[in-house]
Amino acid sequence: MALPDERHRRRALLALCTTEITSWGVLYYSFPVLLGPVTGATGWSAGATLSAFSAGLLVSAMCAVPVGRALDRYGPRPVMTTGSVLGTAALLGVAAAPALPWLFAACALVGVAQSMLLYPPAFAALTRWYGPARVRAITVLSLAGGLASTVFAPPTALLAEAVGWRWTFVALAAVLALLTGPLHLCFLRLPWTPAHRRERAEGGIKQVLRTRPFLLLVAALTLASFAFYGATLNLVPLLTGRGVDNTVAATMLGLVGAGQVLGRLGYPTLTRLTGAGGRTAAVLAVGALTTAALAAVTGPLVAVGAVALAAGATRGTYTLLQATAVSDRWGTAAYATLTGIAITPATAAMAVGPAGTALLAERLGSYPASFYLLTGLLLVAAGIALGTKVTLERGTR
């Protein structure tokens, strides 16, 4: 099938950049920002409230496969538009929550919406529409998505101070509905050939699922997601445990975010210079080095900041590595279905990684010890990734 017209592809890319910033800002970053106001106003414990959000992430992981199949069959327009409607309803449910069970139910619906609105569906659309140029388009989208916390976190905090957390969630629901729904409906109209008509050219989904490289890829991504997200979201307690001021520790976490942008900018060049298996192993090995460095480097602050920046660059590269893992090995026809299956365990690991790392720190006696264990997981993942090399036949890219 011929690729869509460039003008229409650019419009779709611009629309997705806008909706990804909005979806990430509203459905992901707003929750940790509003954790304090929610617990302060309701008396719910921080652990229970955060668990509701984590439960939503687990629901999102469970939905990855059916959403991927729907994307391959029907395309991103109906799936992502439906996600906008569900996300709006879910946020209104969170705003109205009278008790924790209601909050858990509403966050579960948030998780369903996340599976339809965050990176995977958008990556699937760009992978199909951009073909050989997909890495460039995905890189642009991920750079835009990286602005979500910057765009939404400060206004969300200010709004909560002014009108309270419930009306803040109502306002965020309105933003999600007004920005993402119309854009998905109007600009994701590009041609979409159902994947089941093209499976034979790709060898078939079932055949891929039984291959050793696919199983190894799932294992590598799962270990890496646990380690990357566990290290990132536990950086602040790691540093404050050494006596670093909380504000300074938060600044170091901000450097991780800045590093992600740098890592994503360099990814297109990396793809031109390396093969899929070697690239995956190299990124995970570098991730192991930076995680170990976070545990080992205690000062001066300039050195800690440099390590945080390098760790962020590796994490940013990993985001794009995960997005292109399937298309680099098995082509684009059944991309959404295969990616949904591949990242389901990884998404679950991402959800439990932060709490799991904190628990490991408690059991091992220190955060540095838990970071060294995460280093070991990344090295194992890097070794596993060496077995994920697949040779694509000409024309399958």
CA distance 115 to 68: 9
Q: Containing domain of residue 306, as a range?
A: 202-388
Write phi, then psi, for 147 (nearest 5 degrees).
Answer: -85, -5
Asked whether residue 12 falls in the same domain as residue 35, the answer is: yes
Asked whether residue 246 falls in the same domain as residue 130, the answer is: no
pLDDT tens-digit readout, 326-380: 989 988 878 888 998 998 999 889 888 888 888 899 899 999 999 999 999 999 9
Mean pLDDT of the chain: 90
Mapping DSSP to helix (H, G, I), strand (E, B) and coil, where does residue 326 land?
helix
Residue with tokens 């611009």, as numbered in its chain: 14
In this prediction, residue 206 carries a pLDDT of: 81
Q: What is the CATH number of the domain that holds 343?
A: 1.20.1250.20
- Is 269 inside a domain boundary? yes
CA distance 385 to 306: 27
Closest CA to 69 of 347, 329, 339: 339
In this prediction, residue 352 carries a pLDDT of: 87
Q: Which of 166, 191, 216 is the last residue of a domain?
A: 191
Asked whether residue 75 falls in the same domain as residue 132, the answer is: yes
User: Do the Cβ atoms of 22 and 176 come closer than 8 Å?
Assistant: yes
* 196's tokens: 């089941």
* Exposed / middle / buried, residue 173 (Cβ in 10 Å: 0-12, 13-18, 19+): buried
Between 294 and 334, the more confident residue is 294
The band of 393, judged by pLDDT with boundaries at 50, 70 and 90, is: very low
- Is 197 inside a domain boundary? no
User: Do the Cβ atoms of 241 and 371 come closer than 8 Å?
Assistant: no
- pTM of the entire predicted model: 0.82
- Is 1 inside a domain boundary? no
* Exposed / middle / buried, residue 395 (Cβ in 10 Å: 0-12, 13-18, 19+): exposed
Asked whether residue 208 falls in the same domain as residue 184, the answer is: no
- Is 135 inside a domain boundary? yes
Asked whether residue 220 falls in the same domain as residue 335, the answer is: yes
Residue with tokens 């400060």, as numbered in its chain: 154
The band of 195, judged by pLDDT with boundaries at 50, 70 and 90, is: low
Report the chain's C-alpha Rg in angstroms: 20
Q: Cβ of 247: how many Cβ atoms within 10 Å?
A: 7
Asked whether residue 239 falls in the same domain as residue 187, the answer is: no
Residue 385 clears pLDDT 50, i.e. is over it:
yes
Report the number of distinct structural domains present in the chain.
Answer: 2
Which ranges constitute the DSSP H helices of 25-145? Answer: 30-42, 46-74, 76-96, 100-117, 119-130, 134-145
